């Protein structure tokens, strides 16, 4: 029975019946249908959807392909008139009371409260520098992020909306902040003090206020921790460098005289991955770039420093860490990397057993699957991500629809073998990747939407990069991938950031949030619905995948997401059947024999007004659409 752990009852039969009437074209008007469904939905209010790698970070060479570059060029050739016309037409339909099937079914859903200790969430990645500026200097800050918590979570106000704008929130329940520690660079992956806040972003008091308000809304907060290296401006390195410069020729350094020399990897001979220490005969390891000297992670004193750093933030109430570049701790030495992660995981869990750890292992899936042996909660699922990942290839049509479902089943077995308690960390793009709008030439938003859904319907703790829900674009240099959040089309408006100084000047393909919020068919409202579905059916994030072979092939795929048989009673969530049409044409799937032939159409994700149609045991899906069924009671 769904919701045992969440403390609510199953959805009522009347609500299910109404959903079936909607998908079959009941004579009720759309507004009457919504009103009845809201009465069935336990009397709860629904969201007011219509109210309103850093320089030197390792990245594959194939990150920016010629195909993506061509797509970026074609985007500039597309006309804005069609988009504007579509937006005005949709706004008129809302005023007339004509809601889409996706809106109607979404309104009937009841997103469930997530227990405090549940790490399986929907996480929003934020680059604070480019998110929201609270003091007018053009740089995002912690107070700016705090002002937008209701946009990210959507659960902090009576209406579930951002009170500053009236725009309904996304429904995310965790935030990953890219580094906020003092640093000489804009991206802040080269740290000078791990126990402070960069003055560009605010003060420790600002951080404490942000953390408190996150927790008041049921939002967890995890910090980005780069412990492979520090900045050359970190006091540890500065003291070590000063000592070595004064050391007489031929004399070996004494760790007793300067313990910080042991914190890094110094030698007198040049080597690949080493840079010469200025005004000395010494060289230091720096695999990313000369401003990021690698730490000596074999040194017990270094590990103790790292443990103290973790304890400092965990004792403040931080909910965990995203670990940067975990495959680079020991260059080309996976076993040593796994050993270090095992040590760090143990150290963290001794301090805070519920802390969540996710690692960036930018490698092929067979390699990063091995890192689960460390006991780490999660590793980012790179196989599905980016312009060359499985999601983009399936959406382009270069891989069949079946490849998506088959890959889910395969990785569940692969990861589970390494660690039965693993939590997958699916994502579609991040701050080191070209933004996804450039992946599909001449896309009207349909493929961008579908790709987002394929990520958000994966099991585990799904990650969403800020602005992805708007179809923001940006490729080429890293700064372009970290452009200002598009709250409005006016770059001088309150809260707007100027972005990294080296960012190129370019225009966005899709409208800013203030316009998309008013358009029921926008990318933003599609993402909101996908997250709402994810939050309403915990089996999507907590369950395992069982393929329905009879409806899985080149254009369509179907699968059941269900809890394992040995799941504890508090995790006995209601299974769901997910049917996808990943093609450009209508497709019909026969659910006979699946156990869902008499099921209830609980939710849909559609890229246009065309509805999903249910006729007896068959379901007809319009292009690029997804249907979610629950079993008949």
Give catalytic status of residue 360 as yes or no. yes
Contact 444, 81 (CB under 8 A): no
Rg of the Cα trace of the chain?
Answer: 25
Is residue 52 within 8 Å of residue 488, measured between CB atoms?
A: no
Distance of alpha carbon 269 from alpha carbon 276, whole angstroms: 9
Say how many C-beta atoms besides its own lie within 10 A of residue 317's C-beta: 14
| Selection from 450, 527, 510, 471 nearest residue 86 by Cα | 510
Scanning 292-383, the segments in alpha helix (DSSP H) are: 300-316, 334-351, 365-370
Query: Which neighbouring-strand residues pair with 275?
Result: 284
> Which residue in the list 150, 360, 381, 406 is annotated as catalytic?
360
Residue 463's φ and ψ, nearest 5 degrees, are -110, 140
The phi-psi region of residue 240 (left if phi > 0; otherwise alpha if psi is between -120 and 50; otherwise beta) is alpha
- Contacts from 478-484 at CB under 8 Å and sequence distance 24+? 478/53, 478/54, 478/55, 478/187, 478/431, 478/432, 479/186, 479/503, 479/504, 480/504, 480/506, 481/431, 481/432, 481/433, 481/434, 481/435, 482/127, 482/129, 482/130, 482/187, 482/431, 483/130, 484/130
Phi-psi region for residue 347, left (φ > 0), alpha (ψ -120 to 50) or beta? alpha
Instruction: Report the distance separating Cα 23 and Cα 17, nearest Å.
Output: 10
Is 515 catalytic? The answer is no
Sign of CA dihedral 488, 491, 494, 496: positive
Of the candidates 75, 174, 190, 324, the residue annotated as catalytic is 324
d(CA 408, CA 578): 13
Cβ 224 vs Cβ 322: under 8 Å: yes
State how far the alpha carbon of 215 is from the alpha carbons of 177, 211, 222, in Å: 15, 6, 12
Q: Check if the beta carbon of residue 449 is closer than 8 Å to that of residue 526.
A: yes
How far apart are alpha carbons 628 and 619 in whole angstroms?
11
Q: Which residues contact 267 (CB under 8 A, 6 or more apart)?
A: 274, 282, 283
Tell me the catalytic residues: 324, 360
């Amino acid at each position: 029975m769904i919701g045992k752990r969440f403390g609510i009852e199953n959805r009522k039969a009347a609500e299910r019946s109404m959903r079936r009437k909607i998908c079959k074209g009941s004579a009720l008007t759309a507004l009457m249908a919504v009103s009845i469904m809201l009465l069935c939905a336990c009397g709860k209010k629904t969201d007011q959807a219509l109210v309103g790698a850093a320089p030197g970070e390792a990245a594959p060479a194939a990150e920016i392909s010629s195909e993506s570059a061509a797509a970026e060029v074609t985007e500039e050739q597309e006309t804005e008139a069609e988009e504007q016309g579509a937006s005005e037409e949709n706004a008129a339909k809302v005023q007339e009371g004509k809601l889409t099937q996706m809106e109607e079914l979404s309104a009937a859903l009841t997103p469930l409260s997530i227990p405090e200790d549940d790490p399986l969430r929907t996480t929003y990645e934020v680059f604070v520098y480019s998110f929201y500026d609270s003091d007018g200097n053009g740089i995002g800050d912690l107070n700016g992020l705090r002002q937008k918590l209701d946009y990210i979570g959507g659960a902090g106000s009576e209406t579930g909306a951002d009170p500053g704008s009236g725009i309904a929130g996304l429904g995310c329940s965790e935030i990953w902040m890219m580094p906020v520690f003092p640093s000489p660079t804009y991206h802040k992956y080269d740290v000078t003090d791990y126990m402070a806040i960069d003055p560009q972003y605010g003060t420790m008091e600002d951080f404490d206020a942000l953390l408190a308000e996150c927790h008041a809304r049921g939002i967890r907060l995890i910090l980005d921790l780069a412990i492979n290296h520090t900045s050359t401006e970190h006091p540890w390195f500065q003291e070590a460098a000063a000592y070595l410069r004064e050391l007489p020729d031929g004399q070996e350094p004494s760790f007793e005289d300067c313990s910080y020399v042991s914190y890094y990897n110094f030698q007198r001979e040049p080597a690949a991955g080493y840079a010469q220490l200025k005004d000395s005969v010494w060289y230091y390891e720096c695999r990313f770039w000369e401003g990021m000297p690698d730490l000596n992670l074999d040194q017990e004193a270094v590990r103790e420093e790292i443990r103290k750093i973790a304890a400092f933030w965990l004792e403040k109430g931080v909910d965990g860490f995203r670990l940067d570049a975990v495959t680079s701790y020991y260059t080309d030495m996976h076993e040593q990397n796994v050993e270090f992660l095992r040590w760090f995981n143990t150290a963290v869990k001794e301090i805070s057993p519920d802390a969540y750890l996710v690692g960036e292992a930018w490698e092929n899936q067979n390699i990063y699957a091995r890192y689960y042996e460390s006991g780490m909660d999660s590793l980012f699922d790179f196989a599905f991500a980016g312009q060359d990942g499985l999601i983009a290839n399936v959406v382009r049509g270069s891989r069949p629809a079946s490849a998506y479902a088959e890959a889910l089943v395969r990785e569940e077995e692969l990861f589970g073998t390494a660690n039965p308690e693993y939590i997958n960390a699916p994502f579609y793009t991040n701050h080191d990747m070209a933004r996804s709008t450039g992946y599909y030439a001449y896309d009207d938003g349909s493929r961008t939407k579908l790709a987002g859904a394929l990520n958000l319907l994966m099991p585990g703790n799904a990650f969403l990069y800020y602005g992805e829900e708007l179809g923001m674009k940006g490729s080429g240099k890293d700064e372009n991938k970290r452009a200002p959040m598009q709250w409005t089309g006016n770059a001088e408006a309150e809260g707007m950031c100027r972005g990294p100084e080296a960012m190129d000047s370019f225009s966005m393909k899709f409208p800013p949030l203030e316009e998309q919020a008013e358009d029921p068919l926008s990318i933003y409202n599609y993402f909101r619905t996908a997250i709402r579905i994810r939050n309403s059916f915990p089996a999507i994030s907590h369950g395992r995948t069982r393929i329905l072979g009879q409806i899985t092939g080149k254009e369509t795929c179907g699968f059941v997401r269900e809890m394992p048989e040995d799941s504890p009673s508090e995790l006995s969530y209601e299974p769901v059947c997910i049917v996808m049409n990943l093609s450009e044409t209508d497709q019909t799937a026969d659910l006979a024999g699946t156990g869902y032939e008499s099921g209830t159409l609980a939710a849909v994700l559609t890229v246009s007004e065309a509805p999903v149609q249910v006729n007896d045991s068959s379901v007809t899906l319009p292009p690029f659409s997804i249907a979610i069924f629950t079993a008949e009671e």
